[in-house]
Amino acid sequence: MKTNQKDQIMEAALRLFAEKGYGNTSIAAIAREAGVAQGLMYNYFDSKEDLLRGLLEKGFQGVQESMSAYNEPHPPQKAIAMHITATFAHVAGNKDFWRLFHAIKLQDQVQAYINTEYAEAKTFILKTLATNFKKLGYKSPNEESKLFFAMIDGLVVNHLMDPKSFSLNSIKKLILKKYHI
């Protein structure tokens, strides 16, 4: 009957952080949105910042899981295609997380978590991409992978800002064609 209140708090917090920004969201607002007393959050998280960390961690775990496909070897073209597909699908299904993440990633204070969780994933992705580009005969696979990564990143952010103009799926085809996939 009673849904998990910790989850309700996290959902409410993620929604509000994404919508209004971390700094503009009060604990009171989260509690109201979650339909819960203000103090309850502190049974599950040490502080507002710890709640943010919890949300980011949970989000990155989802990313990690959606990236598990890379653990098995694939032909490079398929691997790249899968990367795009998986990324776009994860963004589509976790818009609030990605809005929050991209809104926060440039702030020094948060770079700590990001450097742990995100930087690893980023490094892994860049390496995997470089390997695949090398297999495909690209001249500068490292630069190529950075460019590719930045392109996907930029697409995601622009999609989050203005989903109608920047439809991920319509551009996906163009990318595949561009990379002869």
Cα–Cα distance between 104 and 100 in angstroms, integer? 6
Query: Is residue 145 a contact partner of residue 133, using CB atoms and an 8 Å limit?
Result: yes
Cα–Cα distance between 34 and 30 in angstroms, integer? 6
Pick from a copy of itself, DNA, none: which does 2 bind, CB < 5 to 8 A by kind? Answer: DNA
Tokens 């996907």 map to which residue? 152
The footprint of a copy of itself on this chain (CB under 8 A) covers a number of residues equal to 39
User: Of the candidates 6, 74, 105, 134, which one interacts with a copy of itself according to CB under 8 A?
Assistant: 105
Which CB atom, from 51 or from 130, has the smaller least distance to DNA? 51
Cα–Cα distance between 85 and 171 in angstroms, integer? 12
Part of the chain binding a copy of itself (CB under 8 A), chosen from 62-70, 76-84, 106-114, 129-137: 106-114
At CB < 8 A and 24+ separation, what contacts does 58-67 make? 58/10, 59/94, 59/97, 59/98, 59/100, 59/101, 60/117, 60/118, 60/121, 62/90, 62/94, 62/97, 63/90, 63/121, 64/121, 66/90, 67/121, 67/124, 67/125
Query: Is residue 144 a contact partner of residue 130, using CB atoms and an 8 Å limit?
Result: yes
Asked if 158 touches a copy of itself (CB under 8 A), the answer is: yes
Residues near DNA (CB under 7 A): 2, 5-6, 24-29, 36-40, 42-44, 46-49
Pick from a copy of itself, DNA, none: which does 15 bind, CB < 5 to 8 A by kind? Answer: none
Which CB atom, from 2 or from 173, has the smaller least distance to DNA? 2
Which CB atom, from 21 or from 75, has the smaller least distance to a copy of itself? 21
Which CB atom, from 31 or from 175, has the smaller least distance to DNA? 31
User: Of the candidates 107, 120, 124, 135, which one interacts with a copy of itself according to CB under 8 A?
Assistant: 107
Positions touching a copy of itself (CB under 8 A) are 19-24, 99, 102-109, 111, 140, 143-144, 146-147, 149-155, 157-158, 160-161, 165-166, 170-171, 174-175, 178
